[in-house]
């Protein structure tokens, strides 16, 4: 246990956030997952609001048992394009994904837990900052990577490192 820059008591597992409006947040998290898997670490990735995501790919099955990828949503339709009933069903499934993450941390099933696009889940008020904080605080020695486009200031307070990934504008010289 230690205190972060805001004085919060932190577990020994680190929390890293990849955020911003650019492409590459999930790819950066996956790159770290691949590196950690090559060092014999066990990784669990839970995808939120990713539509089909990458869970159905035959390639991802070959990554097991070192890297396991889960998606609890049943629809490939963008969350904002769903009916209210479909959004409510998705919210239940997303909360199931968060409960699964709690179980993963409680059992020490992995060395690295990636919560892909969970910042969007917070921004859409499907889960609260307190829900995410409670989850992160239960991590013990497990490192956690959080991704999403819009940063919540309260989420920043329980992160050890934040990387912003933005879109670059190229100029003709």
On the question of pLDDT at 1 being above 50, the answer is no
Whether 6 maps to a domain, the answer reads yes
d(CA 104, CA 79): 25
Residue 106 has pLDDT above 90, yes or no: yes
Instruction: Say how far apart CA 18 and CA 26 lie, in whole Å.
Output: 8
User: pLDDT-based confidence at 171, cuts 50/70/90?
Assistant: low
Residue 169 lies inside a defined structural domain of this protein:
no
Q: Using CA atoms, how far apart are residues 159 and 173, in angstroms rounded to an integer? A: 39
Residue given tokens 């059992």 in the structure block: 107
Segment 143-160 shows an average pLDDT of 90
Residue 171 in domain? no
Q: How confident is the model at residue 170 (pLDDT cuts 50, 70, 90)?
A: low
Query: Which range of residues forms the domain containing residue 13?
Result: 2-164
Question: How does pLDDT run across 24-58, given as a tens digit for each residue?
Answer: 899 999 999 999 999 999 999 999 987 665 656 77
Q: What are phi and psi of 23, to 5 degrees?
A: -85, 145
Q: What is the CATH number of the domain that holds 153?
A: 3.40.50.300
pTM confidence score:
0.87
- 101 occurs within a structural domain: yes
Residue 173 included in any domain: no
3-state SS track over the chain: CEECCCCCEECCCCEEEEECCCCCHHHHHHHHHHHHHHCCCCEEEEECCCCCCCCCCHHHHHCCCCEEEEECCCCCCCHHHCCHHHHHHHHHHHHHHHHHHHHHHHHCCCCEEEEECHHHHHHCCCCCHHHHHHHHHCCCCCEEEEEECCCCHHHHCCCCEEEECCCCCCCCC
For residue 170, being part of any structural domain is answered with no
20 domain-assigned: yes
CA angle 89, 132, 118 (to 5 degrees): 60
Q: What is the pLDDT of residues 6-28, one digit of tens each?
A: 444 445 799 999 999 888 899 99
Q: How far apart are CA 101 and CA 105, in angstroms?
A: 6
- Number of structural domains found in the chain: 1
Token pair 């912003």 is at which residue? 164
Question: What angle is formed at CA 26 by the lines to CA 135 and CA 55, rounded to 5 degrees?
Answer: 85
Residue that wins the pLDDT comparison between 104 and 171:
104
């Amino acid at each position: 246990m230690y205190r972060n820059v805001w004085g919060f008591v932190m577990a020994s597992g680190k929390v890293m956030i990849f955020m911003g409006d650019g492409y590459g947040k999930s790819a950066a998290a996956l790159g770290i997952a691949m590196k950690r898997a090559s060092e014999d670490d066990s990784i669990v990735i839970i995808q939120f609001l990713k539509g089909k995501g990458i869970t159905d790919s035959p390639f991802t099955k070959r990554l097991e048992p070192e890297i396991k990828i889960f998606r609890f949503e049943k629809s490939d339709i963008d969350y904002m394009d769903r009916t209210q009933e479909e959004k409510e069903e998705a919210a239940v499934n997303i909360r199931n994904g968060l409960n699964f993450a709690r179980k993963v941390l409680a059992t020490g099933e992995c060395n690295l837990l990636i919560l892909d696009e969970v910042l969007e889940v917070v921004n859409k008020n499907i889960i609260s900052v307190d829900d995410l904080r409670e989850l992160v605080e239960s991590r013990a020695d497990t490192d956690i990577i959080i991704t999403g486009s819009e940063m919540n200031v309260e989420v920043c307070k329980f992160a050890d490192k934040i990387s912003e990934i933005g879109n670059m504008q190229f100029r003709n010289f």
